[in-house]
A and B are shown apart, each in its own frame.
Chain A
Amino acid sequence: MEIFAVFSPLFAFLVAFLCGRQIGEKGVNFITCAGVFVAAFASIILFYDVALNDAVRTVTLASWIDIGAFSAQWSLRMDTLSVVMLCVINIVSACVHVYSIGYMSHDPHRIRFMAYLSLFTFAMLMLVTADNLLQLFFGWEGVGLASYLLIGFWNHKESANAAAVKAFVVNRIGDFGLVLGIFATFVVFGTIQFDDIFAQTRQMADYHFDFLGMELHALTVIALLLFTGAVGKSAQLGLHTWLPDAMEGPTPVSALIHAATMVTAGVFLMVRFSPVLEFAPVALMVVCVFGALTALVAATIGMTQFDIKRVIAYSTMSQLGYMFFAIGVSAYSAAMFHLMTHAFFKALLFLGAGSVIHAMSDEQDMRKMGGIWRHIPATYMFMWVGSLALAGMPFFAGYYSKDIILESAWAAESGVGVFAFWCGIAAALMTAFYSWRLIIMTFHGKPRADEKVMAHIHESPRVMLSPLVVLATGALMAGSIFYGGFVGSPYKEGHIYDLSNTTEYVNIWDKEHFWQESIFVLPENDTVEAAHHVPKWVKKMPVVAGLVGIVLAYWIYMFRAGLSERIAARTMPLYRLFFNKWYFDELYDRVFVKNAWRLGQFFAIRGDRRVIDGYGPDGVARLSQRIAARLSKAQTGYLFHYAFIMIIGLVALVTWVFFKIAAGL
């Protein structure tokens, strides 16, 4: 079963990639969809087996690297954390595969596209089922590769190529941290096997090592290095610049890779390392602050963008920020819960946006849309569902997961927790605002597209709409159904519980029983438990913020025409800062890209040509030529020159001998 859940997409990829031409387009569509459907089916069975019936296990397949002291296996680890990821990945991936059949039907390279999608799915599955850091890294880089290939899928476009390279290189900067984290883990724990690491964390909690004269807390260093990797992959503040550019890829890719799955790999990594993070409080604080700032900054940018996909991309970044600050307050299960619900509604939003773009003849600028909701009512409805879930409106999936995160942040009762809470509330308001700004600009008002495009508008075919139904169902129900399992309290609410006699009240569908050993929280850090007991106003705050955001959006964009421009003009410096994405790209270009280039030129011309060659081989060659020329000048051919030199030599010799003898005497 494990093998099916992970390797059927690989099989599909190999068949599609190697004999795509032979089996034709239909064959490729069939084999890739079949592969991921088999995988999805197998993962649901595994979910039932592992998460609900406690059959936690690890299947070892083969040895990868083994040099005695250091070893890593290919294996599939099955615990609740990985089967949750398996289900999310495979179900969303299946939806995206089916959708792509319709979306890419006019593209000449659709065979390659389907193959890459399957490759990505496989790499992601390897990542989440790893039982050691190295296999995780294999999947980690594998998804990076697939992302690179798919962002640059339309490789005749310069912008797509630039975005692809940027995504890969920026991710590599994160991976740089991750690799160092792996080294540090190995050096500190003597293993990179998850179980062996986690078994030792408690006794290593006070271990320090020396680096350049500094005493460093080992677990904090490891946690921060791994977090660097997560920052890159999950587009957290600092290494986020690749994500908006990644929207150059086809829309199904944005839905699968840059919203639902790959970008959550960083969250997964952090949750997987909860046993280490729990003993590294400083690292947790850093994660929390980064997450909170990312949520806030991304939301500010999202409010000002006009490209429909970029708005959703910034919203993804912002939601990932929520997950990270949840981790930062030890609310790992809440982060996973939000990861799961977010996968559904964000994939839904992206595929819905894809449907809009498809209808509008590949237009992505919201300023050229408007007034089309009557033409594509199904898409319009799906976008509403996705937006309601994203904004955290009651009974939609996002409501449950976002609330529990914000409540946990509050319940952490720490400075960073409160900071994260208020950042989160502000971001929630802005999230709702830009979601409805998107809906209103795209679907309402007067049509701003030209007549040719408007005449062409059509609802997407069934093959594209049916996956949306699945995702919309998830966006509607996933929150309420899984609340108990992911974050629910083992104690019936309203009872004052007594630890010695809890059997009576214990609830099977609760987080302790669901996660088992796969998430580790120190009892004093159990913020998710505490979140069930926060004041009423804290619980209501996110919904209120969301409603305010929605009302504001309606007021500004629907009922008061021109108001948005006036606000933008009034707050020009701030608006410009947001609109230009806080100038991260410009800053990086100035500081890193340009200087690396200059340094390279300097080394190439000054270093190699002038200094090394100039004083090395070329210099020696010139010098020997010059000496030879000098020496040859000495051979003048005049007898008296030679005679003169001989006499001088003789005099010198005699003098020397004389002094020698004198000294001897």
Chain B
Amino acid sequence: MVDFPILSLMLALPLIGALFIVTIRGDEESVARNAKYTAFYCAVFTLALALYMLARFDGGTADFQFVEHYAWFPSLDIAYHLGVDGISLFFVVLSALLTPVCILASWNGIKKRVKEYMIAFLILETMMIGTFIALDAVLFYVFFEGVLIPMFIIIGVWGGPRRVYAAFKFFLYTLLGSVLLLLALLTLYFQVGTTDIPTLIANPVAGTLQMWLWVAFFAAFAVKMPMWPVHTWLPDAHVEAPTAGSVILAGVLLKMGGYGFLRFSLPMFPEASAYFADFVFWLSVIAIIYTSLVALVQDDMKKLIAYSSVAHMGFVTLGIFTATVAGIQGGIFQMISHGIISGALFLIVGVLYDRLHTREIARYGGLVKNMPKFAVMFMILMLGSVGLPGTSGFVGEFLSLLGAFQVNMLVALLATTGVVLGAAYMLRLYRLTVFGEQKHQDAAAMPDLDKRELVLFVPLVALVIIIGIFPNLILDRVGPSVDRLIMQYEAGLESGLETGQKSDGVFVPRGPQEGVE
């Protein structure tokens, strides 16, 4: 515990930085330079705060920590209520980690409107962190939707040629979910009389209403994940977004859906979650197989990685809705790991794009000759994405599939084919870009990673390996909160009038499987 409002400080710091950047005056070049430095230092300080929070986090309890509670609209019982538990902890750290990475990644790539770009990223950081630490549903909604605006601008202003189409597609898709989310939140408020998340979790609504609310929340979160078939905004958004935009999009924004499932759907609507579990499983399985096959035939690198993200998120939804320890821990771990790996993979694409200004796979080849350091970084990230044991990608994938296997074998069987397809498309990408003959003069002349780029990659790549070998660093801290979540979920199921429909292919395992040790 700390004796200062660390969470508010983390929210405020990027905003203060943004305000400061607004006031910068002078000729264009110095404004750009000062804006970059200000943004970078702000983000680094926020990261330092996040790491401090991580260090002081008590892994032994499931309670919310660093809690701040101030009345906001006291008459409506809406409060400024912040707190962190094991489920949100690493998402906060991930957001704080990727923001400075993004700013550094845009150092030379962004040439126009640098000042506004940096402001957008700092605001985005506040919104992202806010989403994960808000303990009041209204506050959560504000942040959750607030993320959309800077992201919309980042894609729409600094994006590629079809950026307007992509930005609107992104905005409309997510707005559709948001409208339903808002309606559901209002209903919930009128039912329970508060928007305080812990109170809402403690007082689940009953019966059919729960089903409707679940559907509304699901719509919002499924679009964010994104789940099949509402995923088509993602490839377009990624392709058009600037590198850093893609990094944040894949690294953090996709995790907000999964976080929503864990914070709202599962504990607040346990019966509905159990009822719809099979539905989610099959959507996840389709996502894994379908998007993996689509990834296999892409010739645009960013599209390939975007589709692979949808497949990887399929493992997350699969794991979460098993409501087993392994599944949920696996889902959370997979999200953290994917945040690092896919974020870094988009940086990899960014490195190539900065040099040759194309994302077409066929324009590269034989890069290992002129870019050996790049090849090593790419290799480790590729292996992480493939889920090789010893990298972080393995742990999440394995645990969520294990959870799935405990609940529904057929689904697990089909989902596991994703590990074969994943290997196929990632190895194809690597082979065509890094190995083979050097067919193009310009690609063969590209310089290897410079110092700035190494500073970007080395920590991310190291993290992939470290948390792959010592995943308990994360799992231990997440554990108590997941155990409590499952307790709440099961208590909700028992108190419900109708028990959740269980899937076919279930058999009751002998060993200690579900529940809390």
Contacts and interface: CB of A to CB of B under 8 A. Distances in A.
B330 to A, nearest CB: 9
A134 B395 CA distance: 10
Interface string A171-212: 011011001101110111111000000000000000001111
A601 interface: yes
A184 B405 contact: yes
B240 interface: no
Contacts of B423: 168-169, 172
B390 to A, nearest CB: 6
Interface stretch (B152-160, B265-273, B411-419): B411-419
Given A210-B505, A604-B298, A617-B173, A187 B405 contact: yes
B402 interface: yes
Contact of A66 (B291, B417, B419, B475): B475
B493 to A, nearest CB: 19
B413 to A, nearest CB: 6
Interface stretch (B75-83, B339-347, B427-435): B427-435
Interface stretch (B60-68, B89-97, B243-251, B507-515): B507-515
Interface string B376-399: 000000010000111000110011
Contacts of B510: 188-190
A68 B297 contact: no
B452 to A, nearest CB: 21
Given A67-B329, A189-B511, A211 B416 contact: no
Given A69-B517, A184-B405, A142 B390 contact: yes
A644 interface: no
A17 B263 CA distance: 44
- Of A145, A179, A184, most buried by chain B (CB within 10 Å of CB) is A179
- Of B296, B424, B437, B511, most buried by chain A (CB within 10 Å of CB) is B511
Contacts of B435: 152, 155-156, 161
Contacts of A179: 398, 401, 416, 419
A512 interface: no
Contacts of A189: 510-511
B232 interface: yes
A376 interface: no
- Of A145, A164, A187, A190, most buried by chain B (CB within 10 Å of CB) is A187
B419 A161 contact: no
Contacts of B172: 617
Contacts of A607: 290, 294
Given A66-B475, A210-B505, A596 B389 contact: no
A168 B325 contact: no
Interface string A55-70: 0000000111111111
A616 B232 contact: yes
Contacts of A107: none
Contacts of A212: 410, 504-505
B420 to A, nearest CB: 5
Contacts of B436: 155-156, 158, 161
A608 interface: yes
Contact of B296 (A142, A175, A180, A597): A597
A69 B330 CA distance: 13
A175 B325 contact: no
A473 B427 CA distance: 41
Contacts of B437: 156, 158
A599 interface: yes
A151 to B, nearest CB: 11
B294 A604 contact: yes
B335 to A, nearest CB: 16
B368 interface: yes
Nearest to B424: A169
B483 interface: yes
A3 interface: no
B476 interface: yes
A175 B388 contact: no
A352 B254 CA distance: 55
Task: Give the interface size class of chain A.
Answer: 35 or more
Interface string B425-453: 00110010011110000000000000000
B110 to A, nearest CB: 28
A513 B304 CA distance: 56
Task: Give the interface size class of chain B.
Answer: 35 or more
Contacts of A66: 472, 475-476
A617 B233 contact: yes
A600 B296 contact: yes
Interface SS of A by simple majority: helix
Contacts of B471: 64-65
A179 B511 CA distance: 18
Contacts of B293: 596, 599-600, 603
B232 A613 contact: yes
A544 B46 CA distance: 79
A449 interface: no
B406 interface: yes
Nearest to B369: A156
A165 interface: yes
Contacts of A186: 402, 405, 511
Contacts of A152: 431, 435
Given A141-B389, A145-B383, A189-B511, A176 B232 contact: no
Contact of A155 (B297, B368, B394, B514): B368
A137 B389 contact: yes
Given A186-B402, A212-B410, A69 B417 contact: no
Interface in A611-629: 612-613, 616-617
Nearest to B412: A183
Given A69-B514, A165-B431, A211-B505, A175 B390 contact: no
A554 interface: no
B326 interface: yes
Contact of B326 (A69, A172, A191): A69
A212 B505 CA distance: 5
A175 B419 contact: yes
B169 interface: yes
B496 to A, nearest CB: 24
Given A65-B471, A169-B424, A187 B406 contact: yes
B428 A165 contact: yes
B229 interface: yes
Contacts of A137: 389
B232 A608 contact: yes
A613 B512 CA distance: 45
B472 A63 contact: yes
A195 to B, nearest CB: 15
A346 B215 CA distance: 62
Given A152-B435, A175-B419, A617-B233, A187 B511 contact: yes
Given A68-B479, A176-B420, A210-B507, A608 B383 contact: no
Contact of A168 (B235, B427, B476, B514): B427
Contacts of A597: 296-297
B419 A612 contact: no
A260 to B, nearest CB: 23
B159 to A, nearest CB: 17
Contacts of A422: none
7 contacts: A65-B475, A69-B326, A70-B399, A156-B437, A211-B507, A212-B504, A616-B232
Given A66-B475, A141-B388, A601-B297, 12 more contacts: A65-B399, A67-B479, A69-B326, A69-B514, A137-B389, A161-B435, A164-B431, A180-B416, A189-B511, A212-B505, A597-B296, A604-B294
Interface of A: 62-70, 134, 137-138, 141-142, 145, 148, 152, 155-156, 158, 161-162, 164-165, 168-169, 172-173, 175-176, 179-180, 182-184, 186-191, 209-212, 596-597, 599-601, 603-604, 607-608, 612-613, 616-617
Can you list the 3 inter-chain pairs with the closest CB atoms, starting with the nearest? A190-B511, A600-B297, A183-B405
